Structure 1
């Protein structure tokens, strides 16, 4: 009994000590252990080149996700662009801001217009000597500056928000968009007057706080972010993504729609070629393939378009009082428009393509009108003997012969020529049976006679 009491107390003390230590905070790990990423984490370089458009947005979305799945140490956005679509730039900027992996934009050429907005959304900016940043005024498709106060104010606000997010002077970002702002930059001894759009060189950007580093090479950028010991991974657009970037450009999409509409229409109205139909199908196929790879079109839009084509074909051969034709046109238009990133722009492109295709089809049909599909329903040629058309054997051998009417001719009847009975017709006269008649005219099997008057 005395032996068991110390054992009980010992076990109780051990349990109490274990419970108490469970509530005590664990010893914190060293700062180096908790904050230092593994050396296997790569520095991922993503190119942001050429025009900013929907295809670039899709590629960057895929590349940023891939970098995150790699557990990347840093993402370097290799920027060299003259800008492009504002809506695509906004989506790309949002992707960069939401990236859990730190980002740095390396401007090694130009970051102009929408390109400057992309660079400002990165965590840091490094610039190559001789590169430039800014000139973000909004322009239309022809390159003319848009003067709309509403548009300028909106885009200026987006640039200011991107600058403010990274602790940069917002008035400089505003001056890159709005020529009515003007800005004083004592750091570089420069004042931008109203009426001009701001563009910064690499050295100027560094001094005014719009760049953290002037780097002559990518290696210097990697050293600046402390990634020398990390592997360098270059992500590039795949062949399909490069193709999608090209196809989804507005002018290319419009051209493909023109080819598709004109090709199929020519094949329907001027059958027998084969080639226009094949080219038309290829035009539509490339349009949908490019938008599918870019992530804008799905199987639903493609199925909708195919259903529209089938309904229009059925309408050609089965009259539905226009119902099937209307439904087919609605499905076709919906499929094309919904497959695009910007439905409003896609509808406008489709309208332009339709007008141009109508002109092309009209010209081709006029040239090959003798092969038109309407010739299947309208008999345009006269089937005359001069052109070699003979329905049956001609009775021209009876011309001038005299015979006897064996039936009354009122005006048609039967006459006997020798031993042969022949169906004849008069020019309108009544001839009694038994009277003598002579053949005056023969046209095919039609034998015209007149009565022989007795002297």
Structure 2
């Protein structure tokens, strides 16, 4: 049972919190009860008194491994908890551990909530590894009769499983979690030495002459051990009390009879997990579809496919607690700017560049979460943004690669499909196989001639050369009506002109 740091992050110089994950593993064997007598539960924090009638309690379960999928659900749960304005939150824990990055964020959410209401940890039955760290962030800890808590040593896991580490590397990946749990314990009134002995087997934990956890072992407490009071202390080792169920816990904290609101994982949460996994592909298909639709007249299949894929993409990231209206607005502004560049403004300039910038920024921000505002623990930095930014860069790079690949694939395969042949006319007329609409040489006679723009050229319009009026296009710039123009290029019946004076005049 341990915290699982990633091999890459363990060596990263940018974050002293080298470990990046806390492991999943089978629960350890429950330690035998020691000979130290068990005292009645004595709360180490004052509990609420009175009836809970008319009050509301929000119950948030953390069951199973703590990974990215769990974090997505947890973010939505805390959004709902904030909207519910509960008088207390109960974290119902049954977890073997999980990622350190995810655990740090969950702890930050809990600490931010504690500014509004107490948060109680209910170890029901196991809070191993990451679960123990989450418990240390709570206002008070309550345990089920068969509960276990502790065993949070960092280990390193790669594709082949647990990795061997030399002495220096072990110390490196243990250093941050060791300091972090001590700070959590200090903030919430738990024993700092007890917390450290859950993380570091080199730490001996004893009270007076009673050794609770000798050197070479990791501290894992049963429910009865967690509520033990050992002289000269007057408070339990860790837990406030043993409770058999939620109702008994609420009675302990003075909220008996309170309205209980249980957070339930929805089908949308499970769907969102898959959507975030294939997010780069959905975004790439959406952008290809929208671009294809912009370049073709009307509104058809590519536009529908693009809109649906982008809609699914933002739905999944919104449910996962990532994308908000800010990101959606950025993407929409980007699409509008690109449409303006294609349909209204000639050439490619500020609007096009701004549109692409908005799309890139929106896609990047979609995968970067909004972390809760919380005061950092004493001597410890808050959750680092570096891992989230790394994920965003990887997602964005994957989207760019997929867009390029899909564009290449469409150029190679699509022209050979029956659907493409039905939509696009590939037949052409040459001089020897069709009729000539006009005498090409007629237009070449206008090369280098000067005339007057009779309409605004944007870039297409008409110009008058003597007593002859021709359809012309400018060489890229907008040309006001009445401007002097010169023919600088003729290609078939296409006459290209350039403006030769700044001030327009009528002729």
Q: Distance in 1 between matches of 2:162 and 2:426?
A: 55
C-alpha distance in structure 1 between counterparts of 2:220 and 2:308, whole Å: 44
Match of 1:78 in 2: 92
1:253 aligns with 2:299: no
- 3-state secondary structure, aligned to 2:278: helix
Match of 1:219 among 247, 254, 257: 247
The structural deviation recorded for 1:169 is 2.2
2:182 to 147, 160, 175: 160
User: How much does 1:115 deviate?
Assistant: 3.0
Cα separation, 2, equivalents of 1:331 and 1:363? 26
Trace 1:251-290 onto structure 2 (pairs within 5 A): 252-266=275-289, 268-269=291-292, 274-275=300-301, 277-290=303-316
Partner of 2:189: helix, strand, or coil? Answer: coil
User: Is the Cα–Cα contact under 8 Å of residues 57 and 88 in structure 1 kept in the other structure?
Assistant: no
Q: Could you tell me which residue of structure 2 aligns to residue 21 of structure 1?
A: none
Q: CA deviation at 1:330?
A: 0.7
Q: Say if 2:286 and 2:310, in contact at 8 Å, map to a contact too.
A: no
Is this contact kept in 2: 1:311–1:324, CA < 8 A? yes
Q: Which residue of 1 aligns with 2:62?
A: 49
User: Whose helix fraction is larger, Structure 1's or Structure 2's?
Assistant: 1
Distance 2:133 2:226 in 1: 14
Q: In the comparison of the two structures, how many residue pairs are matched?
A: 341
Question: CA 1:365/1:49 → structure 2, altered by over 3 Å: closer, same or farther?
Answer: farther
TM-score (norm 2): 0.55
> Does the 8 A contact of 2:51 with 2:254 survive in 1?
no
- Note if contact 1:260-1:281 (Cα within 8 Å) is conserved in structure 2: no
User: What residue number does 1:17 align with?
Assistant: none
**Could you say if the C-alpha distance between residues 131 and 307 of structure 1 is closer, same or farther in structure 2, counting changes exceeding 3 Å?**
same
TM-score, normalised with respect to structure 1? 0.60
Task: Determine the structure 2 residue equivalent to 1:235.
Answer: 262
What does the per-residue CA deviation read over 1:376-412, in whole Å, with 9 as the maximum and x for residues that have no partner?
A: xx997665899xx5549xxxxxxxxxxxxxxxxxxxx
- Which residue in the other structure is 1:19 paired with? none
Structure 2: 5+ residue stretches without partners: 1-47, 229-235, 370-384, 437-507
Q: For the residues of structure 1 that align with 2:199 and 2:73, how far apart are their CA atoms?
A: 24
Unpaired runs of 5+ residues, structure 1, are 1-34, 393-455
Does structure 1 residue 326 correspond to structure 2 residue 353? Answer: yes
8 Å CA contact 1:57–1:91 kept in 2: the answer is no
The 3 A distance-change label for structure 1 pair 120 and 183 is same
Deviation at 1:120, TM superposition (A): 1.2
Name the residue aligned to 1:444.
Answer: none
Distance 1:319 1:140 in 2: 55
Highest relative contact order (Cα 8 Å, sep 6+), 1 or 2? 2
Residues 98-143 of structure 1, C-alpha deviations (whole Å, 9 max, x = no match): 24x4432111143344432221122221222444333443778978
Separation in 1, partners of 2:205, 2:240: 20
Q: Partners in 1 of 2:401 and 2:132 — Cα distance?
A: 37
Asked whether the 8 Å contact 1:244–1:291 carries over to 2, the reply is: no
Distance 2:332 2:162 in 1: 39
Superposition deviation, residue 199 in structure 1:
4.3
Residues 5-16 of structure 1: matches in 2 within 5 Å? none
Alignment match, 1:93: 110
What is residue 415 of structure 1 aligned with on the other side?
Answer: none
Counterpart for residue 142 of structure 2: 126
| Aligned 8 A contact 1:76 1:105 in 2 | yes
Hey, what does 1:304 align to over in structure 2?
A: 330
Distance in 1 between the 2:219 and 2:301 partners?
A: 53
Secondary structure of 1:44's match?
strand
Query: Does the residue aligned with 1:368 lie in a helix, a strand or coil?
Result: helix
Indicate the RMSD between aligned Cα atoms, in angstroms.
4.4
Q: Secondary structure, in 3 states, of the residue corresponding to 1:260?
A: helix
Q: Alpha carbons of 1:114 and 1:316: their partners in 2 closer, same or farther (altered >3 Å)?
A: farther
Contact 1:63/1:235 (CA < 8 Å) preserved in 2? no
Separation in 1, partners of 2:354, 2:149: 51
Q: How does 1:14-413 map to 2 (within 5 A)?
A: 36-42=49-55, 44-50=57-63, 51=66, 52-63=70-81, 66-68=84-86, 72=87, 74-81=88-95, 82-84=97-99, 85-99=102-116, 101-136=117-152, 137=154, 152-178=174-200, 181-184=202-205, 190-191=213-214, 193=216, 198-207=219-228, 209-228=237-256, 230-237=257-264, 243=268, 247=272, 252-266=275-289, 268-269=291-292, 274-275=300-301, 277-292=303-318, 297-316=323-342, 319-321=346-348, 323-339=350-366, 340-341=368-369, 344=389, 345-370=391-416, 383=429, 390-391=434-435
Contact 2:284 2:402 in 1 (8 A): no
8 Å Cα contact 1:254/1:352 also seen in 2: no
Shift of 1:332: 0.5
Q: Give CA deviations for 1:166-186 in whole Å, capped at 9, x if unaligned.
A: 33221332243446x433468
Mapped to 2, the partners of 1:282 and 1:197 lie a distance apart of 52
Which stretch shows the higher mean deviation, 181-190 or 339-348?
Answer: 181-190
SS at match of 1:367: helix
